[in-house]
C-alpha cells in the first residue's frame, strides 16, 4: 500500500503507480530503444508538458475561440506556428492536429472525397497505414492505387509512376513513408502531378527532425503542395501533428476542416512542449540531425559486418535515421523482435517489399532507428557495440539474460538528454509550480 500523509491509499492506485514506475525504469534507463518512430523530450519540454493547459479547451483559432480563459494558450500556439515557419522556411503552419494521422486525414479530406483516387507508395515498401484503404483513405472512401516500386533503388519507380499519374489523373499523390531510407522523388512526381491538376502531399513524420536539421530535403521547397508530420520521431517533441504549406488556399481549407471535422480540443499541453522542442532544434538541430544520420550509417555497416542481412546495401544502406534488416533466416520479424525485447533491445517487426500483405503479423524484417539513443548522446562507436549485442544474441545464440545484463550496463552511460538547453532544478520546479 502507498501512504500519503499517513493515509493508506487504495490498492488500485498502488498498482498503477508501481506499474508506471517499473515501465519508466525499464524503458527509460535499462533498454536500448531502436524503434524508429519514438523519441524522448528534454526535461524542460516535459516540465511544460505537465502544465495546467492539459485541463483546458480552446476550440477554434487564436483570437477566435469558442471558450474563454485561453489568452495564454493563444500566445503559445502562435509561438509554435512562428517557430515552425522559421525552421521550415514556409508561410503557413497548422499545429492543431493531435497526431500525424489526423494531419493526414485533414489534408486528404480537403483534397479528395468518396470515389476519388489517390496514388501512394507501396504498403510493403513503407507507406503508412493512414495512406491506405486500410486506414484513413479507406475511412474517407478514397481509392488508393500503389505506385510501382524499384527495389534496386529502394524508391518509387519514377518513370512508371509518371506514366501512371498521367494515365489515372488522381486527385492527389502521397509521398513519404514509415520505412523511409532515401528521399522520395518529390520534384519529379510534383512536376507531372501538376500537369494533370493533382496535388502532392508529402508525409514527413519520420524525417521532420532531419528536415529541420538540414539533412533531408524539405518537400515544400521541391514542389509538394502540402506536407504533414508528427512531432515525436526525429523531431523529439511530444506526440502530436503538424501541417505546413506555402499555398494560401490550401492553408485556409485545411484550417477550416481540421476543426470541427477532425479535432475539437487539440490537447493544449503539447503546445508549450512542442515550442520548447522547436527552440531546441533551432539551436541544436543541425548537430543532432548530423549525428543521427552518421549513427544510422555506422550502425548499418556494423550490423552488416556482424553477419546481418541489411537492405539497400548497394546504396549505402540509408540516408535517414533508420535501417531495415531482413531476418527471415533468423526466424522472422516477430520472433526476432521478441527475442531482442527479452534482452532489453526494443525494435519493431516490419514488412519487406517482397512480403505479402497478410504477412503483417509475421513479416520478414525488422526496422531500426538511431534517433532516440542519439538524443541520449550515443555516437558511432556505441552503435557498433549495440550491433555486437545483437550478433551475440541472434547469431551466436547466447543466453538472453547475459545480453540483457550487458545492455543494462551499457545504458548506464546514456541517461541524460543531449542537444538541449541546460536548466537547473529551480527552473523546472518553478515551471511545475513548486516555488
Question: DSSP string of 229-272?
Answer: EESSSSS-S-S-EEEEES-HHHHHHHHHHIIIII-SS--TTHHH
Structure-model confidence comparison of residues 123 and 100, the more confident one: 100
Sign of the C-alpha dihedral computed for residues 93, 98, 101 and 104 taken in this order: negative
Checking if the pLDDT of 6 tops 70, the result is no
H or E stretch including 33?
strand 32-33
| pLDDT bucket at 7, cuts 50 / 70 / 90 | low
Mean pLDDT of 214-223: 98
Measure the CA–CA gap between 112 and 127, rounded to whole angstroms: 18
Cβ neighbour number for residue 200 with a 10 Å cutoff: 28
φ, ψ at 270 (rounded to 5°)? -75, -20
Measure the CA–CA gap between 317 and 9, rounded to whole angstroms: 53
pLDDT, position 129:
81
Checking if the pLDDT of 4 tops 80, the result is no
CA 202 to each of CA 14, 177, 242, 321: distance values in angstroms, whole numbers, following the listed order:
45, 9, 12, 18
| pLDDT bucket at 434, cuts 50 / 70 / 90 | low
Question: DSSP string of 275-320?
Answer: HHHHHHHHHHHHHHHHHHHHHHHHHHHHHHHTT-EETTGGGTS-SS
pLDDT, position 435:
44
CA 281 to centroid of chain Cα atoms: 15
Q: What share of the chain is helix, strand, coil (3-state, %, to 5)?
A: 50, 15, 40
Which CATH number describes the domain made up of 47-277?
3.40.640.10
User: How close are the terminal C-alpha atoms of the chain, in Å?
Assistant: 29
pLDDT, position 243:
98
H or E stretch including 417?
none
Q: Is domain 284-411 annotated with CATH 3.40.50.970?
A: no
Closest to 74 measured CA to CA, from 279, 268, 282, 243: 268
pLDDT, position 248:
98
Domain boundaries, the chain: 47-277, 284-411
Locate cell 500537369: which residue?
Answer: 195
Amino acid at each position: 500500500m502507498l501512504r500519503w500523509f499517513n493515509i493508506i491509499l487504495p490498492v488500485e492506485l498502488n498498482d498503477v503507480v508501481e506499474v508506471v514506475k517499473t515501465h519508466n525504469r525499464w524503458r527509460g534507463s535499462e533498454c536500448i530503444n531502436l524503434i524508429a518512430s519514438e523519441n524522448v523530450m528534454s526535461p524542460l519540454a516535459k516540465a511544460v508538458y505537465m502544465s495546467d493547459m492539459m485541463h483546458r479547451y480552446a476550440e477554434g483559432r487564436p483570437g477566435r475561440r469558442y471558450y474563454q480563459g485561453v489568452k495564454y494558450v493563444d500566445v503559445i500556439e502562435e509561438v509554435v506556428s512562428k517557430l515552425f515557419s522559421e525552421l521550415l522556411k514556409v508561410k503557413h503552419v497548422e499545429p492543431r492536429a493531435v497526431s500525424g494521422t489526423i494531419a493526414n486525414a485533414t489534408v486528404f479530406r480537403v483534397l479528395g472525397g468518396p470515389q476519388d483516387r489517390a496514388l501512394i507508395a507501396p504498403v510493403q515498401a513503407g507507406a503508412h497505414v493512414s495512406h491506405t484503404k486500410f486506414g484513413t483513405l479507406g475511412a474517407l472512401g478514397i481509392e488508393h492505387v500503389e505506385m510501382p516500386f524499384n527495389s534496386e533503388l529502394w524508391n518509387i519507380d519514377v518513370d512508371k509512376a509518371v506514366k501512371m499519374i498521367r494515365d489515372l489523373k488522381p486527385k492527389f499523390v502521397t509521398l513519404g513513408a514509415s520505412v523511409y531510407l532515401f528521399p522520395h522523388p518529390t520534384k519529379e512526381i510534383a512536376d507531372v502531378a501538376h500537369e494533370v491538376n493533382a496535388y502532392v502531399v508529402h508525409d514527413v513524420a519520420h524525417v521532420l527532425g532531419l528536415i529541420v536539421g538540414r539533412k533531408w530535403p524539405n518537400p515544400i521547397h521541391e514542389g509538394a503542395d502540402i506536407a504533414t508530420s508528427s512531432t515525436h520521431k526525429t523531431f523529439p517533441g511530444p506526440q502530436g501533428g503538424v501541417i505546413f504549406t506555402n499555398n494560401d488556399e490550401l492553408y485556409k481549407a485545411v484550417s477550416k476542416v481540421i476543426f470541427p471535422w477532425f479535432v475539437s480540443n487539440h490537447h493544449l499541453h503539447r503546445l508549450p512542449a512542442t515550442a520548447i522542442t522547436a527552440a531546441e532544434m533551432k539551436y541544436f538541430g543541425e548537430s543532432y540531425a548530423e549525428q543521427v544520420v552518421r549513427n544510422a550509417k555506422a550502425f548499418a555497416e556494423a550490423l552488416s559486418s556482424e553477419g546481418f542481412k541489411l537492405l539497400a546495401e548497394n546504396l549505402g544502406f540509408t540516408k535517414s535515421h533508420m535501417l531495415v534488416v531482413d531476418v527471415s533466416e533468423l526466424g522472422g520479424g516477430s520472433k526476432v523482435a521478441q527475442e531482442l525485447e527479452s534482452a532489453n533491445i526494443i525494435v519493431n517487426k516490419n514488412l519487406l517489399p517482397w512480403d505479402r500483405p497478410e504477412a503483417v503479423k509475421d513479416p520478414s524484417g525488422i526496422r531500426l532507428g538511431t534517433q532516440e539513443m542519439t538524443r541520449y548522446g550515443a555516437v558511432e562507436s556505441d552503435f557498433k557495440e549495440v550491433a555486437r549485442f545483437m550478433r551475440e544474441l541472434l547469431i551466436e545464440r547466447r543466453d538472453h539474460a547475459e545480453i540483457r545484463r550487458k545492455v543494462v550496463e551499457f545504458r548506464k552511460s546514456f541517461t541524460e538528454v543531449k542537444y538541449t538547453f541546460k536548466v537547473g532544478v529551480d527552473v523546472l520546479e518553478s515551471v511545475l509550480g513548486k516555488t
